[in-house]
Structure 1
């Protein structure tokens, strides 16, 4: 999957999910988040996400970071160099990732409000300029 995820992706959904993978209400960026995820062939990653401009979200108004990515033992690892969250700078975050055609699903368990939460983001491959994927 390593080279298959190279490219540009648009965020479709971002939810906390239960043990069976079902969404638990709105995600931290509200019901209609916007996002852009970029994986380069040489190992760089950039993520930018925000709630829809017309919809206030329960959480932050913008989330973003950039750094390097790699696959390690089938797990996607992001090494964060810069971030809208100072506590993320310099850390590595591991994610489970599945690719189904032009849909990339990424999930991880994170500590939120002092409890573990599984978060799932679904991304769709962006069309290239001119409409080709």
Structure 2
């Protein structure tokens, strides 16, 4: 009997939880403009606006399950040299893939990225919806753009466009 009660409780929880997942999916679908971006360095707890105080970018979530990100640092200028062109890679991040929601996180199976190391990986992001704001926290990892800073995570805020 206790196994049956446990099964009933689990099924009840799943039924209760499913609408909130569906609701979050509906709320996240759309175009989101980047408001702020910084990294938190795990070793020190220090936060840095590595893309500057006014980064630019967008996140787009489709109803079909695709997400696309393009994020760029402030003050980017057209390159004058091959070295300038290479340096531009450190002031951007871009990727796309199919995503799925699991509670307070989404997982993207990356199929295209500015950094080939991300292609074929799953990128996990934690999120919180607050009205027209989407707060995003990455997992702790070494970001290719700032590998010299060690383990870090990104803290981003997006605002839904109208």
TM category (shorter chain) comes to 0.7 to 0.9
In the TM superposition, what is the alpha-carbon distance from 1:3 to its structure 2 partner? 1.6
Aligned-residue RMSD, C-alpha: 2.4
Q: Is the contact between residue 39 and residue 154 of structure 2 (CA under 8 Å) also seen in structure 1?
A: yes
Structure 1: which 4+ aligned runs deviate by more than 4 Å? none
Partner SS for 1:111: coil
CA shift, 1:81, in A, is 0.5
Of 31, 34, 53, the residue aligned with 1:11 is 34
Kept in 2, the 8 Å contact 1:50–1:62? The answer is yes
List gaps (5 residues or longer) in structure 1.
128-133
Partner Cα distance (1:119, 1:54) in 2: 20
1:17-67: CA deviations, max 9, x gaps? 368xx871322x122100011000110111111112468x99713221111
- 3-state SS, counterpart of residue 110 of structure 1: coil
CA distance in 2, matches of 1:9, 1:84: 19
**Is 1:50 aligned with 2:72?**
yes
**Contact kept in structure 1, 2:76 and 2:88, CA below 8 Å:** no
More helix by share: 2
How does the TM-score come out when normalised to structure 1?
A: 0.81
Q: Is the 8 A contact 2:30 2:160 kept in 1?
A: yes
Larger radius of gyration: 2
| TM superposition score normalised by structure 2 | 0.67
Q: CA deviation at 1:73?
A: 4.0
The residue aligned with 2:98 is 68
Q: Distance in 2 between matches of 1:23 and 1:13?
A: 16
Distance 1:30 1:39 in 2: 25
- Any conservation in 2 of the 1:110–1:119 contact (CA below 8 Å)? no
Counterparts of 1:41-120 in structure 2, within 5 Å, are: 41-53=63-75, 60-108=90-138, 109-112=140-143, 113=147, 115-120=150-155
CA 1:89–1:46: 2 relative to 1, 3 Å: same
- Assess if the C-alpha contact under 8 Å between 1:39 and 1:46 holds in 2: yes
Secondary structure of the 1:104 match is strand
